[in-house]
Amino acid sequence: MKLVCVQLFLLLLLSVDTLGISAEDSNVDVIIIGAGMSGITAGKTLTANGITNFIILEATDKVGGRIRNSDFAGYEVELGANWVEGVNGEQLNPVWTLAQQVKLRTSLSDFSNLSSNVYTASGPLPPQTDADAITTAQNEYVINLSVNLTANGDDDISVLTAQRSYGSVPSTPVEMVLDYFLYDGEYAEPPRVSSLKNTQPGPTFKNFGEDLYFAADPRGFATIIKPVASYLQSKDGKYVDPRLKLEKVVNKIVYTKEGVTVSTEDGSTYTAKAAILTVSLGVLQSKLIDFQPDLPFWKLEAIFEFDMAIYTKIFLKFPYKFWRTGPGTEFFLYADDSRGYYPIWQHLERELPESNIIFVTVTDDESRKIEQQSNNETLAEIMEVLKSMFGPDIPEAEEILIPRWWSDRLYKGSFSNWPIGVTHHEFAQLQAPIDRLYFAGEHTSALYNGYIHGAYFSGIDAGKDEITGKINLRCTNQTGIRHTEATMAKESQQPKASSQLKVHLIRHAREKL
């Protein structure tokens, strides 16, 4: 009889192990879903407050989320986030602090002389000083209009509507590509989509500074997460803590006022008093996760009203360089009749010397189109553009790398963008928990959505919300600005309109998530 009992006990243990469930993690205090910056930061916040009985479920095989690098032609390149955006300003960007802690290899992006680096199908153009001046003046007007609308409590409008009110909308290929660089290159969606009051002027650059540092470290940009994730690492920096569970794709969440049950595609089931969900906005908009009960309409409305943008960097390796190098040449633009057709180019001679690698950035509909066609089709289009820019005798590319963030079911896009029509009350609903299910991620940062530092702040706030048991924020927070952002950044007050708000056209391509 004892032998039978022992056999039954061993069989039960085997069954539990097969399901991926153990006595220590089948019932925990908190389940964190996602091991990107926000999920890891949430875990650190819990740990700092004495809550250690939690697990982190990550769908992929590594920590980092949309901060992800890949080997390309013998070099490490960043498929997603690539810049520390917002440096050398009045306040210290926490991501820059992390980069310095790990001695991340970076370089200050050089956007100077951009209007002299414009090409068309007929080759290089002379310096486009007139178009540059027009675009810069228009951008100053757009920013000041946003400040005034906010100060007066007026309704929001799109960036395009603001441009129209200025009396001039970019229409020539050169004007369109300069405009694209300024807006689409930052928000990954066109001015007709983006909210004026919630994107202009960008709090990131106003608060943290207008400098951007490009990450080109052989360890990968995700190395910046290591100081945050020290609670999961051994002394040599390896992720060894069993609370971090990789390759766990969450496909069902059952939530109540008493707790949360989370299931994964491998058949594992985990229960907890609360869960912090840090998946991307794109995943929330997809059908990857089955919520039981269904999310309430006010939450679904907020999720679907906000935008998940697509930002695609296409890397190309050549046998030798045929593009200009040296100061003032890092970025160059292709002005096509079709706005957004392979528009923003960057060489990597400072970041990856002698690599002979360049990359082109596309967004939105062009990204969707490219993700659905073959690499060879895309390469043929790119080579046609490059030959029109530099002549027919340039060499063929030896290799090409095309990330597909939109097609990837675990991300469904690159980063969020605030579209016209979403109020701060509706954004607060996007952030708000439901029972014991909390939401975090860059898309829940009212001031810094779309940025790594937005993910960082959101993870802290979600951890604090769980700690303090705030389970009914939907009607109490009308601004959407959570406590960490307001305390650490102090930018909840809009600036007064002034000439100091000038934002140079020579700006940003992105760190973005």
The CATH number of whichever domain residue 431 belongs to comes to 3.50.50.60
Q: Can you tell me whether residue 125 is helix, strand or coil? A: coil
pTM of the model: 0.90
Do 277 and 205 share a domain, yes or no? no
**Per the annotation, does 497 bind a ligand?**
no
Is 355 known as a binding-site position? no
Q: Is 59 annotated as a binding residue?
A: yes
Given this model, what pLDDT does residue 469 score? 73
Same domain (yes/no): 295, 436: yes
Q: What is the mean pLDDT of residues 113-137?
A: 92
For 291-308, the pLDDT digits (tens) are: 999 999 999 999 999 999
In a domain, 378, yes or no: no
CA distances from 394 to 119, 385, 387 (A): 15, 11, 7
Q: Tell me the percentage of the chain whose pLDDT exceeds 90.
A: 83
User: Does residue 377 have a known ligand-binding role?
Assistant: no
pLDDT digits (tens, 9 = 90+) for 264-278: 999 999 999 999 999
- pLDDT value of residue 487: 59
- For residues 112 and 186, the model is more confident at 186
CB 38 within 8 Å of CB 440: yes
Distances (CA, A) of 427 to 420, 430, 431: 12, 5, 7
Strands 331-334 and 344-347, sheet pairing: antiparallel
For residue 143, being part of any structural domain is answered with: yes
User: Cis peptide before 218, with omega less than 30 degrees from 0?
Assistant: no
Residue 357 belongs to a domain? no
Strand boundaries in 219-364, DSSP class E:
244-245, 250-255, 260-264, 269-277, 290-292, 307-309, 311-317, 331-334, 344-347, 357-363
Q: List beta partners, residue 400.
A: 316
Q: Is 85 a catalytic residue?
A: yes
CB 482 within 8 A of CB 461: yes
Structural domain contains residue 183:
yes
| CATH number for the domain that contains residue 179 | 3.90.660.10
CA–CA distance, 449 with 193 (Å, rounded to integer): 16
Average of per-residue pLDDT across 108-121: 94
How far is it, in rounded angstroms, from Cα 29 to Cα 16?
Answer: 20
In this structure, the answer to whether residues 480 and 428 fall within a common structural domain is: yes
Name the catalytic one among 85, 210, 351, 366.
85
| Residue 190 belongs to domain spanning | 128-212
Q: In terms of domains, do 182 and 48 share one?
A: no
Least confident of 10-24, 127-141, 189-203, 381-395: 10-24
Tens of pLDDT, residues 128-154? 888 889 899 999 999 999 999 999 999
Give mean pLDDT, residues 99-118.
96
